[in-house]
């Protein structure tokens, strides 16, 4: 794609940010024959590939293998204490990143016909972006710059060596005692993984751990994590951090009621902040807040030529949301369709063991918006496959509204992230609970818990006097 005027490029679509969302938009637009420029100042693949989803799940997988070795006794297999090689675990994590990286590489996208500019992108006016030696004008722009770890202004933290999710996967040394500040999904996943890989771990959460999820379900998960050995302290407000490499001290509490937690390393997992600085948003006439760029339901900014997708919009910060947003932008920008984002159908999963998965409304939300509801539950311990695998902790919880419409589902238990997908489909298609009883589930599988929960909606039917009367009449007819 040659510059049309010196170092000026005139294209159909300019995407700023080569994370999951930006890559999806660029690849799809190029496939439809659009002239596309993709700007990325950092690593291709963004946070998900390099610092988030991929390395964290690889680390969790390593921890899971170690846990299996320690807990094989109930299966008649002598348990052993695994010998953890921190450098080898580090290499495993980065080999997984390396295996996936070609899908997001510069070479692949240039092969698709996308013009890659590896530099920072910045709006200079409402229809022009400067990046490196180029100025890009486009019919449409997409901001997909993602988010970064939010490091709170805790006294002493800036002077104390600490990990974030962008640096902890570079560690190749054993961690004696990891202090995790933040009890959200990232904090809890990393805490359990490191504990299983031989570290002592303390989680400090200023409010309630996993606060965005159903308290009934998080209680099941937190109880299991504590039984496994994780020290989770809720309501633990961090006042100060101090120390050096291998000797970290965290002061927790309020007023005179404080205590000191000592460890060897500290991980800050207190949330994310949108990457909106240095984008020239003011020059482009793009409105934003501290939480992110303001967008319409169709993901259009206050500048009608510019879309914003994914974490940078300040909403649900998941890779699958960025990809969902990418699809909406393609439909709007290329086909002029009136597609809009629907956050009510977005699922999320915390990849601890057991997993915690959710989609739709929580019980509390459903009661506020729909009034009378039904709550259906089915426990894992009533599932034969769960018994065979000794994965009996957890249950399915389904919230059903008027007429049997499925409003929301939360699952805590083994493979909850896989089991939630059926409910995600049902909610996205506005299905009723009856549909979840009409399919045949293979035996024995964990997915039977979904069907059994749905069947409970009709469990009162055998005792209904009208139903019994109808059956009686039909019986008399021969």
Q: What is the pLDDT of residue 423?
A: 98
State pLDDT tens for residues 428-438. 999 999 999 99
Same domain, 359 and 453: yes
Q: Is residue 76 part of a domain?
A: no
Tens digits of residue pLDDT in 322-365: 999 999 999 999 999 999 999 999 999 999 999 999 999 999 99
Query: How are the residues of the chain apportioned to helix, strand and coil, as percentages rounded to the nearest 5?
Result: 40, 25, 35
What per-residue confidence (pLDDT) applies to 2?
Answer: 42
Q: Is 149 helix (H, G, I), strand (E, B) or coil?
A: strand
CA dist 466 and 463 (Å) reads: 9
**Torsion over CA: 83, 88, 94, 99 (sign):** negative
pLDDT < 50 regions, the chain: 1-4
The answer to whether residue 422 sits within a structural domain is yes
Say yes or no: 27 and 142 in one domain.
yes
Nearest to 353 by CA among 234, 233, 195, 208: 195
Q: What is the pLDDT of residue 470?
A: 65
Cα-based angle 46, 51, 56 (whole degrees, multiple of 5): 130
Q: How far is CA 257 from CA 157, 253, 254, in A?
A: 21, 6, 5
Same domain, residue pair 127 and 185: no
Q: Is residue 109 part of a domain?
A: yes
| CB neighbour list of residue 171: distance below 8 Å, 6 or more residues apart | 86, 90, 163, 265
One domain, residues 299 and 331: yes
Residue 324: which CATH number?
3.50.50.60
**Domain final position from 212, 236, 270:** 270
Please check whether residue 15 lies inside any domain of the structure.
yes
Taking the CA atoms of the chain, what radius of gyration do you get in angstroms? 25
Q: Are residues 307 and 455 in the same domain?
A: no
Residues belonging to the chain: 478
Same domain, residue pair 359 and 222: no
Question: 324 lies in which domain range?
Answer: 8-44+105-148+273-343
Separation between Cα atoms, residue 235 and residue 460, nearest integer Å: 42
pLDDT at 477: 74
3-state secondary structure of 228: helix
Domain tally, the chain: 3
Task: Please tell me the pTM assigned to this model.
Answer: 0.94
Encode pLDDT of 233-273 as tens digits: 999 999 999 999 999 999 999 878 899 999 999 999 999 99
Residue 478: inside a domain, yes or no? no
The CATH number of whichever domain residue 403 belongs to comes to 3.30.390.30
pLDDT of residue 256: 81
Nearest in space to 328 (alpha carbons), one of 348, 298, 294: 298
């Amino acid at each position: 794609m040659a510059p049309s005027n010196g170092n000026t490029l005139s294209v159909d679509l300019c995407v700023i940010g080569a994370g999951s969302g930006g890559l999806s938009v660029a690849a799809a637009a190029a496939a439809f024959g659009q002239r596309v420029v993709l700007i990325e100042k950092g690593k291709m693949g963004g946070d998900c590939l390099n610092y988030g989803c991929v390395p964290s799940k690889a680390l969790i997988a390593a921890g899971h293998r170690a846990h299996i070795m320690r807990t094989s006794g109930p299966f008649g297999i002598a348990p052993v204490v695994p010998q953890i090689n921190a450098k080898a675990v580090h290499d495993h994590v980065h080999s997984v990143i390396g295996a996936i990286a070609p899908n997001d590489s510069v070479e692949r996208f240039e092969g698709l016909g996308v013009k890659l500019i590896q530099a920072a992108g910045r709006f200079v006016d409402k229809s022009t972006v400067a990046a490196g030696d180029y100025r890009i004008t486009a019919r449409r722009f997409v901001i997909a710059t993602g988010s970064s770890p939010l490091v709170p202004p805790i006294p002493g933290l800036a002077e104390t060596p600490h990990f974030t999710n962008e640096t902890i996967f570079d560690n190749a040394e054993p961690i004696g005692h990891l202090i995790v500040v933040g009890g959200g999904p990232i904090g809890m996943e990393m805490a359990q993984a490191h504990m299983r890989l031989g570290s002592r771990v303390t989680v400090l959460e200023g409010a309630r751990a996993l606060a965005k999820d159903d308290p009934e379900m998080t209680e099941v998960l937190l109880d299991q994590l504590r039984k496994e050995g994780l020290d989770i302290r809720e309501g633990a407000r961090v006042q100060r951090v101090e120390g050096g490499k291998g000797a970290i001290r965290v002061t927790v509490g309020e007023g005179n009621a404080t205590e000191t937690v000592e460890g060897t390393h500290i991980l800050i997992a207190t949330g994310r902040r949108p990457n909106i600085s240095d984008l020239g948003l003011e020059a482009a006439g793009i409105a934003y807040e501290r939480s992110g760029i303001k967008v319409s339901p169709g993901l259009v900014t206050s500048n009608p030529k510019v879309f914003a997708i994914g974490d940078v919009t300040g909403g649900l910060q998941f890779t699958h949301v960025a990809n969902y947003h990418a699809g909406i932008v393609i439909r709007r920008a290329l086909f002029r369709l009136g597609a809009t984002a629907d956050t009510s159908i977005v699922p999320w999963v915390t990849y601890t063991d057991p997993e915690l998965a959710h989609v739709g409304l929580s019980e509390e939300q459903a009661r506020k918006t729909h009034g009378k509801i039904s709550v259906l539950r089915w426990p894992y311990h009533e599932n034969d496959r769960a018994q065979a695998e000794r994965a009996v902790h957890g249950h399915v919880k389904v919230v059903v509204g008027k007429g049997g419409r499925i409003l929301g589902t939360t699952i805590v238990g083994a493979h909850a992230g896989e089991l939630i997908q059926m409910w995600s489909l049902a909610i996205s298609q506005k299905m009723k609970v009856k549909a979840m009883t009409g399919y045949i589930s293979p035996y024995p599988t964990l997915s039977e818990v979904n069907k059994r929960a749905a069947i409970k909606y009709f469990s009162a039917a055998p005792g209904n006097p009208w139903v019994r009367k109808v059956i009686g009449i039909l019986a008399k007819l021969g």
